[in-house]
Structure 1
Amino acid sequence: MKLVSFSVTNYRSITKAHKIAIGQYTVLLGKNNEGKSNISNALNCAMNILRAHSKTVRARMSREYDWTRDFPIQLQSRKNNLQSRFRLEFFLNENELTEFYQKVGSRLNGTVTIEITIGPNNLPEIKVPKRGKNASTLTRKSDIVAKFISERISVNYIPAIRTETSAMHEIREAVVERLEVLEKNTDYLKAMDTINRLQQNVMDEIAANIKQPLQEFMPKIKEVKLQITDERRRNYFRSGIDIIIDDGNPTNIELKGDGIKSLTAIALLKEHALKSDTPVIIIEEPESHLHPEAINQLNAIIESLSENNQVIVTTHNPLFVVRDNISSNIIIDNGTAKPAKNLREVREVLGIKVSDNLVNSKYILVVEGDDDKEALKYILPKMSEKIGKAIKQNLLTIHELGGASSLSYSLSLLKNMLCSYVVLLDDDDAGRKAFNKADKDNLIKAKDVTFTTCIGMTEAEFEDCLKPTVYQQRIKEEFGCDLSLIPDFKKSGKWSDRVKSSFKKIGKPWSDTIETHVKALVVEEIKKQKEIDDILIPQKKDFLDGLISSIENMITEF
């Protein structure tokens, strides 16, 4: 079962948010005080009211909903339409549709909708709207429908951790909820009966000892009894839990920082989610109190949660934005909610300033040097029509690092600018170290990087896939070095090392400046070639085919 949409009307600052689509990973975005938290609160409130209704408990829901607190204050003085409304739409698979018919006696067309209305009396009214035959029957059986849904889908909610008290409350609540499973354990129940009996024996003795003195003052007293209710006893054994974090110095979590408390709360949530059936997980501002590196790690955890659970996040941080499906980002503005239409809209609501060359760019190819950038701008469109179109429309930009060591820094900036990216790195020690660091920092995945690997070479760079006939004559003219006649150029080793050795072999000067000039000449000669077969060595261009595949998979347009 999946929650597929949620609507809310007249709840706190939200006047109307109609049919917000809920996917595997949904992100609520908005400026401060626009109502992101109120949307997540409303969903949590509605799900908990539904769960309570499934137990046929018709009571005031002051903990979940209080009309004077939750109905928009500016509307409370009017005479009509004084209700908050929530609407939940659930998708059922084939087996669940069959089970629904067996338990409820009504057939569905794939979804079931629950409508919750609450007015000034704080008593929720539950309806199951359905067109056609047996429409009213479902509403009469709303408690059975609610129970059916609640048994198959649950909500886990972590509000923004802003204070030590709220952090510890969320942690303890998570632990207490997990301990509730013991209520069905036979050994635990027997142990509780034993504790109950032993405690009651002591309390009966105490009662007997105080009965006689009390009767001296109040003769009408017939009996004195001390007792602990089962609920209080259970709560006692589920509370008072200390969590010790050992990072080389075992410390009670209450003495740790807010960032550790936030991470612990979410770690407990993940542990619970792995053991639960189809939970909806709501996390408010997960970035609160966290160092940027920890935010990257947390983002990876939340993404992994969304593989088997529906995750809803409220955030101001661009790292949590869903990049591959922009409409999964819901923009909350002026009491309403709507899916984002494009990347520019998301950047605007988050206040992200983007450099001019990236304003319209959604996709980035990251390369090491300017020569790689210029060569690939010419070569890639000849090898892929899709990539050529993306470059022409400024959807795809090629961004040079100025050296592999800048990879992590650049990827961090690109992530904050909400760009999707793939990376091409030289297949050498510097390139591999740069990838390993970025991977450790949760800035890149293996599928997003391509190395300039060439068959038979332990190290290689982009120029190694080029036919020497493209550039040899030009280098000879400019520098007096005929690479075709120098054995060192034909030896193993990456291209720049072989060229350097060739220059020095015949007494020609070599420096970083000359290397840059040589590579620029190579690019100029590449751009004079009309056919791709005149540029690339067939046996050494496999990495380019892999790079093109990665870029094409990244681009969802066309």
Structure 2
Amino acid sequence: MYISNLKITNYRGVKETRSINLARFSSVVGKNDAGKTIVLNAIATFLDIKSFTITQTDFNDLSKPIEFEFQFSSDSISDLLETKVKSKVKKTEGLDEFINDLIFDNSIIYKRIAYNIGKSWSEEHILINDFENSEIQGLYFKSDEEITAIVEKFGIVIPVEGKGRNSKAEKIKFIKEHFKDEPRANFWIPDDMKISSLFPEVEMFKADYGLEADTKFKTATVTEIEEYFSRVEDRLVIFKNEINAEMKKEADILKTYMQEYASNLLDIDISPNVAWKDAIKSVDVSFQFAGDDKFIPMTHKGTGYRRLFMVARFRYLAQKSKGNNIIYLIEEPETFLHPTAQQDLLNALKELSNENQVVTTTHSPVFAGATHIEGVVLCTKRTQSNYENAVEGNEREFLFKIIDELGIKPSFNLRDNHESILFVESTNDMKFYDIICRKLLDFNLIGNPKVLVLPFGGGADIDSFLNLDYFDNSGRKLFLLIDSDKQQNKQDSQHQKAQDYINRKQNAQAYVIFRSCIENYYHPRCIERVYDCELETFPNFTPEDNVKTLIKNIVSEKGLGYKNIREKNNFKIFENMTVEEWQEVVEEELLDFLVLLK
């Protein structure tokens, strides 16, 4: 579940309601003090008001309430609601109709209102589609007597199935069927079902604090240790029994002493309350770099190193898939980071966003340029903070606004000895094609003085528009290499994209790879060899397979999780594939295309 839209009213620099669309990975861009951080703080407060309390300064106008309206989306929203709603009732017949009334385009819409400062909400409501007629409105919240009265008044036939009476929800199902042509509208209702418990957790990372202050790293790590104690509870029983035995000895000695004063005392029992999860109160992080005589606490290192640790931490979270259903809010992630490290952090965050949601504020062209256009939010300020998303038909105009706002210029300078420019979708694609060139074609792609390789982000990303237009008149040969995305049935649109590129450019060629994406080129025997698995553990992957999901399922089914087999962008596999294995999976047409760059 992720936030696809939020509306903010009377909060900080926002006076009147402002609507903001978000994607799985979003970047909020704009000048300083325009109101970028307002978005992050609004999300943090909405999801965790106890940690991100409403204060007096949060009210733009103290005479009016703060209102947040959030839209949460998920492909499995119906299943999520079903688990929550059906756990609250005994009979579930007819509840599917109630759940459907709460869903709007695979989303639920929820409102929270604060009239006063504090750590709790004054009102919480969820949106429902219901009858306009007040007599039959709010059926699920009427008493059994009221439902029976409606049935009798309108002569609605309720078939009785099985033993006993029909459930209230089942009666409502037939009432709704009877009034199916009655006008309906959307209404806010109290969240009596506690659907808010389905909302994601939230982690906030501020730009102006040290890592230990703004990442909950210690809290998260202690949580992992608690989970470890839970997993090894059987082994810990041995220690607990030894502790109890020692306490028994002490109790017996104390009994003999105390019986001298209280002869009627029979026994003493000392039972320690052993809570292993409380054994670790905090976790300290230290580094030892070349030239250091000892480990240096992270707090004594520069902020740049602490931010690099954050990069590593996010990569770890993404690989472990820990924190499913968490929204990560990151303020200016580029702060204190060299541009190369920015790219590393970006890759980690995008991987994290595969299963969670990541929202950043940024001044960095690296981050803004790699965010899909649907996830970019432009923040400006006049009389109040304003937010703008791309809408269908104005994407190009919106992109140039972003470019003007950030002052983005292409991050690669042309040098006269580059004869060709190759556009690929990502830095991982660039590394993948370089391995093929080295192993099968006997030349380097990366670092080749004749070829400039540019990752452009793919699709409608900012860099794809910017760089392709910028290099249009460079006089060099232009090459475009993109995935077929067959697993998503997008191969036709990808081929059309390649053809449009050729038609639009002079001296340009394009190729769409035969397999869906680079993971489809894994050779199964190499996976088994690298990770010491039994032969035939993994199948030969077809061009259309969702390889990442297949590997994940096989690892789960066969209990191979301890081997840490990375299913996405696994260059350990690619680097260890033999020439023969590469020849089995790579199509000749791709090799012919790459040879043109030699």
TM-score, normalised to structure 2, is 0.49
What's the offset of the Cα at 1:319?
0.3
Contact 1:88 1:113 in 2 (8 A): yes
**Could you tell me how far apart the structure 2 residues matched to 1:423 and 1:337 are?**
27
Residues 102 and 261 (structure 1), Cα distance of their counterparts in 2 relative to 1, 3 Å cut: same
Letter matched to residue 129 of structure 1: L
Aligned to 1:69: 57
What's the offset of the Cα at 1:406?
9.1
Is 1:251 matched with 2:296? Answer: yes
What's the offset of the Cα at 1:347?
1.3
Letter matched to residue 3 of structure 2: L
Aligned to 1:173: 219
**Could you tell me how far apart the structure 1 residues matched to 2:109 and 2:417 are?**
55
**Cα root mean square deviation, aligned:** 5.1
Aligned residues: 358
**Could you tell me how far apart the structure 1 residues matched to 2:591 and 2:413 are?**
13
Letter matched to residue 116 of structure 1: R
Is 1:103 matched with 2:103? Answer: no
Q: Give CA deviations for 1:84-130 in whole Å, capped at 9, x if unaligned.
A: 43434333525335435533543123322221111115330211121
What's the offset of the Cα at 1:23?
1.4
Is 1:317 matched with 2:364? Answer: yes
Aligned to 2:128: 130
Contact 1:347 1:417 in 2 (8 A): no
What's the offset of the Cα at 1:4?
2.0
Contact 1:129 1:135 in 2 (8 A): no
**Could you tell me how far apart the structure 2 residues matched to 1:28 and 1:88 are?**
18
Aligned to 1:91: 74
Aligned to 2:12: 12
What's the offset of the Cα at 1:368?
6.1
What's the offset of the Cα at 1:287?
0.8
Is 1:237 matched with 2:280? Answer: yes
User: Gapped runs of 5+ residues in structure 1?
Assistant: 50-60, 205-227, 377-402, 425-430, 432-446, 451-461, 463-540, 551-558
- State percent identity of aligned pairs: 18
Is 1:271 matched with 2:321? Answer: no
Contact 1:279 1:310 in 2 (8 A): yes
Aligned to 2:47: 47
Q: How does 1:354-433 map to 2 (within 5 A)?
A: 354=409, 404=449, 407=452, 419-420=466-467
Q: How does 1:175-254 map to 2 (within 5 A)?
A: 175-182=221-228, 184-185=230-231, 186-187=233-234, 237-239=280-282, 241-248=283-290, 249=292, 250-254=295-299
**Could you tell me how far apart the structure 2 residues matched to 1:12 and 1:278 are?**
27
TM-score, normalised to structure 1, is 0.52
Letter matched to residue 25 of structure 1: F
The correspondence for 1:117, drawn from 104, 110, 113, is 113
Aligned to 2:406: 350
In structure 1, the residue corresponding to 2:340 is in which secondary structure? helix
Contact 2:108 2:126 in 1 (8 A): yes
The correspondence for 1:307, drawn from 346, 354, 379, is 354
Residues 370 and 297 (structure 1), Cα distance of their counterparts in 2 relative to 1, 3 Å cut: closer
What's the offset of the Cα at 1:176?
2.8
**Could you tell me how far apart the structure 2 residues matched to 1:350 and 1:145 are?**
40
User: Gapped runs of 5+ residues in structure 2?
Assistant: 89-94, 131-136, 142-187, 252-271, 423-447, 472-476, 478-493, 499-506, 508-587
In structure 2, the residue corresponding to 1:404 is in which secondary structure? coil
Residues 34 and 192 (structure 1), Cα distance of their counterparts in 2 relative to 1, 3 Å cut: farther
What's the offset of the Cα at 1:165?
5.8
**Could you tell me how far apart the structure 1 residues matched to 2:228 and 2:590 are?**
56
The correspondence for 2:329, drawn from 277, 282, 285, is 282
Q: How does 1:437-456 map to 2 (within 5 A)?
A: none
Contact 1:87 1:115 in 2 (8 A): yes
What's the offset of the Cα at 1:172?
2.0
Q: How does 1:496-511 map to 2 (within 5 A)?
A: none
Residues 246 and 544 (structure 1), Cα distance of their counterparts in 2 relative to 1, 3 Å cut: same
**Could you tell me how far apart the structure 2 residues matched to 1:25 and 1:372 are?**
32
What's the offset of the Cα at 1:187?
4.6
Residues 121 and 307 (structure 1), Cα distance of their counterparts in 2 relative to 1, 3 Å cut: closer
**Could you tell me how far apart the structure 1 residues matched to 2:2 and 2:359 are?**
13
**Could you tell me how far apart the structure 1 residues matched to 2:412 and 2:420 are?**
14
**Could you tell me how far apart the structure 1 residues matched to 2:355 and 2:226 are?**
23
Higher gyration radius (CA): 1
**Could you tell me how far apart the structure 1 residues matched to 2:274 and 2:193 are?**
27
What's the offset of the Cα at 1:238?
3.0
Q: Give CA deviations for 1:183-208 in whole Å, capped at 9, x if unaligned.
A: 7443588589679979999x99xxxx
What's the offset of the Cα at 1:42?
1.0
**Could you tell me how far apart the structure 2 residues matched to 1:200 and 1:70 are?**
54
Aligned to 1:261: 306
In structure 2, the residue corresponding to 1:43 is in which secondary structure? helix
**Could you tell me how far apart the structure 2 residues matched to 1:286 and 1:95 are?**
35
Contact 1:16 1:336 in 2 (8 A): no
Residues 182 and 144 (structure 1), Cα distance of their counterparts in 2 relative to 1, 3 Å cut: farther
**Could you tell me how far apart the structure 1 residues matched to 2:21 and 2:330 are?**
17
**Could you tell me how far apart the structure 2 residues matched to 1:256 and 1:195 are?**
42
**Could you tell me how far apart the structure 2 residues matched to 1:69 and 1:229 are?**
44
